[in-house]
Amino acid sequence: MVAEPFRVQITVRGYEIDAQGHLNGVVYLQYGQHARWECLQAAGISQHKLAAAGVAPVELETTIRFHRELRAGAAVEVSCGFVWGDGKTFRVEQDFRRPDGTLVAELANVGGLLNLKERRLVADPAGQFRSLATAPEVLGL
């Protein structure tokens, strides 16, 4: 993972609020996915570039730990740090923080890179991402 993880700021929209008046739990998943795509974009990897290479990222497992609530109009920064291993999967660790640094939630994602033709995970996702990236350091590569 890079020393300082990639971050994106999002403002909570009114239509994302649940009956209790705070951000609906499923929206955290959307915010996390948005931050992951923004991180890939910052590394120089677009959805088009991935498709042209015949691969696509896939989510295999996601865990969310909630610490504080978010309400409509609140700003939240969502981080994105890739953790690479030797196998077919990788982890993405994300935290959700208010501008003052207060931890709101943590999201941990296990993912892989799917070969779209073979419908199997790529053996070396880090190598594939590295070869596609113009700024691989954003992904901790």
Per residue in 8-66, pLDDT (tens digit) is 999 999 999 999 999 999 999 999 999 999 999 999 999 999 999 999 999 999 999 99
pLDDT over 80 at 105, yes or no: yes
Residue type, 123: A
- What CA–CA distance (Å, rounded) separates 22 from 26? 12
Residue 37, classed as helix, strand or coil, is helix
Architecture of domain 6-139: Roll (3.10)
pTM of the model: 0.94
Place 3 in a pLDDT band, splitting at 50, 70 and 90: low
Average pLDDT over residues 87-92: 98
- Domain range list for the chain: 6-139
